[in-house]
Amino acid sequence: MNLEAINQELKGKTPAEIVSWALQIAKNPIVTTNFRPLEATILHLVSSQKSDIPVIWCDSGYNTSYTYANAHKTIEQLNLNIDLFVPKQSVAYRTSVMGIPDVDSPLHPIFTKQVKLEPFSRAMQKHQPDVWFTNLRKGQTDFRSNLDVVSQSSDGIIKVSPFFHWSDEELEVYLKEHQLESEDRYYDPTKALDNRECGLHTA
């Protein structure tokens, strides 16, 4: 797949047009979410064109009560086809064994694998997607800034980020136009900083 040519072809297309293009080439698409701020945008955009698309939610178990309430409301509002994946270890067990390790701790990679990478790997093994819709955007991290609307993982999955060139302000307008909500009190225990990668998108 010539990613450079595809991204050039999609340059100037609206997010809805990008989703339409991707669905035409997809045999087994998915969209992923963690219900972080502004996530309702990608969920609404994709599900409005394919209402039954599997929505993969890997819940670390450490979300705030506000995030869980917002997730429940968004799932109900958009009638999402949620497939929930959680860690094999409970939060209580992990708290007693390692707590939430600092990013410099040798336990942190184990922690990240348990709460995020292993559930995600399980989800991908179950669904075997060929197209993966994400809400990656330019400027979120140095790594993501080097991507584009369409990229490809090492295992050949086509990743499509329809809002890649959109700002937070533009996404907030989208939310308002479609009567969607966002929740800012979000917590990711695998990251010390918002611009730190956790490993899902670097493989």
Hunting for tokens 């595809």 — which residue is that?
Answer: 6
pTM above 0.85?
A: yes
Domains detected in the chain: 3-177 (3.40.50.620)
Sign for the pseudo-dihedral over CA of 70, 188, 53, 138: positive
Give pLDDT tens digits for 63-122. Answer: 999 999 999 999 999 999 999 999 999 999 999 999 999 989 999 999 999 999 999 999
Give pLDDT tens digits for 117-160. Answer: 999 999 999 999 999 999 999 866 555 567 799 999 888 999 99
**Amino acid 191: pLDDT:** 82
Q: What is the mean pLDDT of residues 2-24?
A: 96
Cα 139 to Cα 166: distance, rounded to the nearest angstrom: 10
